[in-house]
Structure formats: C-alpha cells, structure tokens
Amino acid sequence: MTALTKLFRTTTFRLSLTYLALFSVAAAVAIFFIYWNTTVLLSRQINQTIDAELTGLAEQYRAGGLGQLVRIVAERSDTPGNSLYLVADKDGKQLAGNLSAVSPQLWDSVGPVEFVYSRPASGGVERRLAFANVFRLPGGYRLIVGRDIEDRRELSQLILTTMLWGLGAMALVGIGGGYWVSRKLLTRIDGLAATTRTIMAGDLAGRLPVSGSGDELDRLSQSVNLMLARIEQLMAGLREVSDNIAHDLKTPLNRLRNRVEEALREPQDETAYRDVLERTIEEADGLIKTFNALLSIARLEAGAGGENRDTLDMAALVHDVAELYEPVAEERGIALTAHAADPIIIHGDRQLLGQALANLIDNALKYGAPSGGVDNGWAPEVDVRADARDGVARIVVSDRGPGVPGPERDRVLGRFVRLEASRSEPGSGLGLSLVVAVARLHGGRLRLEDNEPGLRVVLSLPMEGDALINGAVVEPPAEKS
Amino acid sequence: MRVLVIEDDQETAAFLKRALKEAGHVAEYAADGQAGLDLARTNAYDILIVDRMLPKVDGLSVIKTLRSEEIQTPTLILSALGEVDDRVKGLRAGGDDYLTKPYAFSELLARIEVLARRSSPEEGLTRFVVGDLVLDRLSHKVTHAGEAIILQPREFRLLECLMKHAGQVVTRTMLLENVWDYHFDPQTNVIDVHISRLRSKIDKSFDDPLLHTVRGAGYTIRDSAH
C-alpha cells in the first residue's frame, strides 16, 4: 500500500494523469464534433432528397391527378432501396406504396417527422427508424415520402460506442504507461536515495549510480558525484588540518611550556627570567600568526570572506605590493622588478589578493636566492609581472633560485609543507596554501612551473567582463617608486 | 586620559586596568554591555575600549546606541573575529579602530593614544614640525634644518603618518594600515626596512636623531632636544 501511495505521489505519475485527462478531453471534443457533423450532414442530405422527390411527385399529381401519382408511387415502391412511400385516402386506406401501417401521429403531422415503422424481415417483423415528410393532398389524401434511417442510427451508435471504448482504452494505456514509467523512475530514485543514505551514514567514498544513458538523472547523479568528491576532499583536508595542528601547533606550545617550566625550576637572576619571558612572547606571537593563517585558510576554503569584493586594478596592486617589498629585496641583494603596463581590472578582494601577492613575493625573496653557495650562473632576481589574456589575469612571480623539483610542486601547495632545503628560513609553511585558497575563492588557480633555473609561480584569476562594462571606476596605475 | 574598558573577562579587564594605569591613564571598567552603556552615558571619557562579544548588550550595539545619542567618544573595538569583513562591520557600527585578540598591549596603547588625539587640531594642519624637520602637506616638500630632502611618495606618506602623531608611538601594523591600506601580515618585517630607508634620508647627516624605534612596540618621531 505504501509503495503504491509512493508511486501515486511521484511527479511522473501525476504528470501522466494530467496529460491523460487533457488528451481525453481533447479526444472527446474531437470525436463528438465528428459525430455531430456526420449526423447533421446526413440528415440534411436525406431531407433534401425527400424534398426533391416530393416536388417531383407533386408535379406528377398536378399533371396527371391522383391516378398518375398512385401509379408512379407504386412503381417506385417496387424498386429496392431505402425509400418509403405511401399514398392513402382520407380514411387512411393505402392506395399505393411500401409503407403499410401508419401511426395516428404520423397521419396527423405535416412536414418532416421521424418515426418507427415495421418491416417484414427474415425472422418476422422488425421495427426500424425512418424519416418522412407528410404532404396533404386535396380531398384528405396523404402523400408520405420517407427514408429508412435505421442504418444511419446504427452508424451513429457505432461511432458513439467506438468513442467510449477508445477513451476507455486510452485511459487504460495512459494510466498503465504512467504507472510503468513512474515505477521505472522510482526504482532509480530509490537506488539514489539508498546510496545517499549510506553516504550520510559516513561512507564518504560512496557515489551515486550512473546508468550510462546520459539522461537527466545521470546528469544529476554526475553533478552530485562531483559535489561528493569535493566534500570528500574537504573532509580529507579537515582531517589533514587537525593532524597538522596537532603537530605544528603542539610542538611550539610544548617548547614554550618546557622553557617556562625550566625557568621556574631553577632559581635564576632577573635577566635570565626576562630572557625567558621575551622568548615566550616571541613564541606566542609565532603561534598566534600560525593560528591566524590557519583560520584564514579555513575560512577562505569554506567560501567565506568574499564580501568585500570590489573592482580593482591588478596591475596597480602588483606595483603596490612589489614596492612594499622593494627595500627588503634591495637589502638582500636581490633585484626585484615589476612589470604590468595596462590596467587589469578584476572583481576581487584587495586585502586577500594583496596578501596572496605579498606571500608570493615574500616566498620568492626568501627561497629564490641561489642557496647554499651554489652559483647557478644567475644573479639573484625576482620578477613580478601581470598581464591579461582571453579574460584571464595572470600574475607571474619568478625567481632564479633552486626552484621546486617537479614531483614536489603539487605537494608544497598543501598546508605546513616545507621543503627540507627551506627549513632554515622562518616560516609556517602556510603561505602558498593561503594563496591557493585566495585563488580558489576568486575562481582562479595557482600553478608552479620551472623557470629554468628557478621557480615560476603563476596565479590565474578570471576577469569579469561585466565589471568593466558596468562603468566601474578604473583606478590609475599606482605611482612607481 | 580617562579610559572606559567594557570587557566581560575579569582577568583581561584587570590586566588592561593595571597596564593602562602604568602608562599613566585612568581606567574604569564595566563587565557587560548595559553597565558599559550606562557609564559611557553619564561620565565623560577620552576613549572607550569595547569588547565585541558582551553579555546583555553586545559591543557593536553599545557603540551604535552611543552614536545615535550623539556621544562621539573615540572607540576601539576588541574582537576575536579578525577577518576584514568583521573589521568593516565594526567600523560601520561606529567604531574608530579595530584590534584583534590576541593583541600586544603596546599595540593597544599606541592605538588608543592616537585615537584620543584624533579630534585634536593636528588633523587639519597643513604643516607638521618636529624639531627642525618640517613637512608641508600642500607642496609635498620636506626640509630638515632648511635642507630639502627628496622623498618618494610612499616615504612622504610614511613620514607624514609619523609626524601627525609626533611624540606618540606608531606601531608597524598602524603604519601598514594607514600608509599602505593593508590589513594583513606581510610576514617579513617590511616596515622596518622602509623605516630604515626613511631614517637614512632624514636623520643621516644630523647628530640628534628624530626617528626612534620603541622596542617591542613601533616607532615614534620626536624632538629629542626637548
């Protein structure tokens, strides 16, 4: 019963019923129209024939009197067909014709009339429907000319019956078809629902079945599967983060605790205490920074933080951030150059993009110098450039340092990942993860490439054409220093 | 100056009260939004320090209510929510500055001292003078003892920001926010390098340096002769 109720509730079944009702009404109207038209047309035809015959007989009567009329009627009555004739005197006595017994109503009526008459048949007498015109002649004589319309009545009856049966069959096929289609669809939906429930129960690796027919349900399943893949990835990320937090936050916390504990255990002079306290604050600051970075990344990956988007010029921002780092580069003996000629207008969050850019440049300055005394023949330089092509803004930060080996390139984008060679530099290993999160929030992506030698980081962001058309304020390029 | 701290955490409030007293200020404290609102309405304070999440009436509502009653006391919002969006919300509610927890007390002190003096005439000045260093905001010229100093536009704005708050500590974050309009942490101490460049331009050939580093806090520009 519940299965049946469920079936009746399906959209498909309801749609089938609605269509069925609509088509039934349309079919009924059409068939009735045909029926009605046929009947009326036939009646009119019969009427006209009878009229024509009456006129002819009337002429004969006028020309040759009653005798000739009786003769002609008798003659015509003998020819087989559906025509009915009767000439009778005022007492109702038949003078000629094939219509014998006539009811008093017919006798008294004038003009066209429908009536039932009896006719000898193989099994006795049969009653048939007829249509006639009664004409009164002088002296009480009657001339009745008619047609047997029993066949026509039967035809009408047949059309009516066919129509009803047809409608019935249509309803049956409609309901049956609707039932079948709904059942088929319901089975698939039930399958999807079952899979969804197992996924909800915790099996994140589960995927909705795809029949392979490429229909709308398949397309829906594919979209949901993509979504599930993303969720699985996010959950994996979350698990990874908690592992990372355990390691990268607990370790410095433990260090901090040990140091304070040690200072408490052994009586020391004031400067020693001061020193411990200062280092504790330093460690705490570092922890706060790491914690903030982690929170930012988590928020960005959850899709939050896009509320402050505005139209901005990426070229100006590139010059701006490069200018911020220029003295640092100079201090380290690295040539920092920025190239971005035309305004590149995108829709984005200036603070987030600024931070992403700052992280990239900061990384390039930290790790982009030929390290360990290995001279690769290039003077240390960091180049930042921005260009726009095919609706995509590309920001490229390249250095001439040791680069990142091919297999490591995807890995370093993850949280807390630091290459062995870079452990000596201060850093949390969160910089690139934040850039990736910012890129993703803006619908863009981050790619690491070989600069031969060195590392080239490419940040691609989609430009939104409409932001330009909507009369956005185009900022002039920032002053270069 | 007279400071009202509206903060529900007893220990934080006590710490702030003590530290502000050490810095030479008078601090009073309210433990919830309603009490804070009542105090701020009845007494005249130079500065309000308002925690964003408070019992009874939340911090932003306290500020909104005060502003709607035409009480324009400079207000610093303290919050654990540190994203730019939260900051914008805080400033929109009528706060004058926003500081994310956890913070260094030196940062908080520098910010409230600058805030309290915001309504002073410095804002409208066209010339800043510290010792014999003169900065003309209209002609964009800087002279030290009559000698012209050529500064890049960003260096000019850096010096302008420091001189506007002459005698007060300006932290690195404040400089980054005011001069560059960046509300993020640039990892490396980029500000220090910019300051050292500026210092080499304005103080290099003079015996008495004007630009001082305040350890653990930031920078200040002052006439050491006084």
pLDDT of residue B47 exceeding 90, the answer is yes
What residues have CB less than 8 Å from B90, skipping those under 6 apart? B52, B60, B77, B79, B98
Report the CATH number that the domain containing residue B112 is assigned in CATH.
3.40.50.2300
CATH number of A310-469: 3.30.565.10
pLDDT at A135: 82
Whole-angstrom Cα distance, residue A346 to residue A343?
9
pLDDT at B119: 63
Whole-angstrom Cα distance, residue A458 to residue A253?
35
**φ and ψ at residue A147, rounded to 5 degrees:** -135, 145
Contact A351 B193 (CB under 8 A): no
In A, what residues contact B, Cβ < 8 A? Answer: 284-285, 288-289, 292, 295-296, 299, 304-305, 307-308, 320, 323-325, 327-328, 331, 349-352, 354-355, 358-359, 362, 365-366, 427, 431, 479, 481
Whether B128 and B110 map to the same domain: the answer is no
CATH of A216-301, one of 3.30.2020, 3.40.50, 1.10.3470, 1.10.287: 1.10.287
| Partner residue facing B186 (CB), from A284, A304, A358 | A358
Tell me whether residue B226 is in a domain. Answer: no
Show which of B116, B146, B167 is a domain's final residue: B116
- Locate B42 and state its tokens: 């009845």
What architecture is the A12-156 domain classified under in CATH? 2-Layer Sandwich (3.30)
pLDDT of residue B49 exceeding 90, the answer is yes
Contact A355 B182 (CB under 8 A): yes
User: What Å distances lie between residue A64 and A60, A140, A164, CA to CA?
Assistant: 6, 18, 53
pLDDT at A168: 87
Interface contact B215, partner A, CB < 8 A: no
Whether B160 and B90 map to the same domain: the answer is no
- Locate A405 and state its tokens: 């080996």
pLDDT at B39: 92
DSSP-derived letter for residue B179 is I
Q: Which domain holds residue B187?
A: 121-221
Whether B142 and B186 map to the same domain: the answer is yes
Whether B9 and B92 map to the same domain: the answer is yes
User: Would the pTM count as exceeding 0.80?
Assistant: no
| Partner residue facing B185 (CB), from A289, A304, A479 | A289
pLDDT at A475: 36
Rg (CA), chain A: 50
- Return the number of other C-beta atoms located less than 10 Å from residue B194's C-beta: 25
| Number of structural domains chain B divides into | 2
pLDDT at A422: 59
Tell me whether residue B131 is in a domain. Answer: yes
Q: Enumerate long-range contacts of B136-144, CB under 8 Å, 24 or more apart.
A: B142/B202, B144/B202, B144/B206
pLDDT tens for each residue of B145-195: 888 999 988 999 999 999 988 888 999 989 998 899 888 888 778 999 999
Whether B12 and B75 map to the same domain: the answer is yes
The closest of A356, A3, A330, A427 to A190, measured between CA atoms, is A3
* Domain edges within chain A: 12-156, 216-301, 310-469
Report the CATH number that the domain containing residue B215 is assigned in CATH.
1.10.10.10
The closest of A384, A324, A331, A352 to B190, measured between CA atoms, is A324
Q: To the nearest whole percent, how much of chain B has pLDDT over 90?
A: 40
Show which of B76, B97, B116 is a domain's final residue: B116
Average pLDDT for runs of 10 along chain A of length 481: 73 82 86 81 84 85 84 83 82 79 74 79 78 82 84 82 85 86 86 88 84 85 89 81 76 87 84 88 85 82 74 91 91 89 88 91 83 66 90 90 78 70 65 88 88 87 57 37 38
What residues have CB less than 8 Å from B66, skipping those under 6 apart? B37, B40, B41, B48, B73, B75, B94
H helix count then E strand count, chain A: 11, 12
pLDDT at A481: 38
Interface contact B154, partner A, CB < 8 A: yes
Once rounded to an integer, what is the mean pLDDT over residues B109-115? 90
pLDDT at A426: 61
Which chain B residues in 94-113 lie under 8 Å from chain A, judged by CB atoms?
A: 100, 102, 104
> How many contacts does A have with B, using Cβ atoms within 8 A?
70
| Partner residue facing B85 (CB), from A292, A305, A320 | A305
Burial (CB < 10 A; 0-12, 13-18, 19+), residue A30, is exposed
User: What Å distances lie between residue A350 and A299, A336, A387, A406, CA to CA?
Assistant: 17, 22, 17, 31
**Secondary structure of residue A285 in the 3-state scheme:** helix
Asked whether the beta carbons of A88 and A100 are under 8 A apart, the reply is: no
Estimate to the nearest angstrom the gap between the alpha carbon of B134 and the chain centroid.
22
The closest of A25, A137, A22 to A90, measured between CA atoms, is A137
Contact A481 B186 (CB under 8 A): no
pLDDT at A376: 65
Whether B8 and B102 map to the same domain: the answer is yes
On chain A, the residues whose CB falls within 8 A of the CB of B153 are 479, 481
- Locate A383 and state its tokens: 């180049």
Contact A427 B153 (CB under 8 A): no
pLDDT at A465: 47
Show which of B83, B116, B149 is a domain's final residue: B116
Using the structure block, give the residue that is written with the tokens 């009555």. A77
Whether B17 and B111 map to the same domain: the answer is yes
pLDDT at A247: 75
Chain B residue with CA closest to A366: the answer is B188
Which of A301, A321, A349, A351 is the mutation pick for testing B, counting most B CBs within 10 A?
A351
pLDDT at B83: 73
Contact A349 B84 (CB under 8 A): yes
